[in-house]
Amino acid sequence: MTNYDLEEVPLLEKQLLFTFFFIITFMISMSLTYNQILKHRQKKPLYSRETEQNILVFNRLFVIVIVLIFLYINVTDKKVRQAYDKCDVTTSNLQIAASVFPIIGAIIVLIVALRNVSQDIEVENPEI
């Protein structure tokens, strides 16, 4: 293994771990969506309204943490690649820029979730 590999492997391991966490957030979103389906069919929901809103806000915060970590991984990866002359800076910058868009989306959906909770509005769009 080269020094580059020694620095790159932990970043890839973090990326793998947080990809798994991202899958968990999708599963949480799926359960919230199913809860909405049950309510629309006038069946007993999985969660009470308050629990559903708390789960939604938690999930949105969790997503923000995950996407921020992905941004951190991309920035660190750029530095490692630059140190070992392994990449074109433009490609790394594009990857970092692409990491910013999910952060913006996650912040927007968190704001919507928090407004819904403060205004006691029914949870409607639990997807990420």
Read off the pLDDT of residues 56-73 as tens digits, 9 standing for 90 and up.
999 999 999 999 999 999
Instruction: Break the chain into its structural domains and give their ranges.
Output: 3-118
Distance between CA atoms of residues 119 and 105, nearest Å: 21
In this structure, what are the phi and psi dihedrals at residue 43, rounded to the nearest 5 degrees? -110, 170
Read off the pLDDT of residues 105-118 as tens digits, 9 standing for 90 and up.
999 999 988 888 77
Average the pLDDT over 12-22 and give the result.
96
Taking residue 122's Cβ as centre, other Cβ atoms within 10 Å add up to 10
Per-residue pLDDT at 88: 78
Six-digit token string for 101: 């868009």
Average the pLDDT over 30-43 and give the result.
94
Distance between CA atoms of residues 60 and 45, nearest Å: 21
Taking residue 26's Cβ as centre, other Cβ atoms within 10 Å add up to 13
Is 82:60 a contact under the CB 8 Å cutoff? Answer: no
Distance between CA atoms of residues 77 and 8, nearest Å: 7
Of 87 and 18, the one with more pLDDT: 18
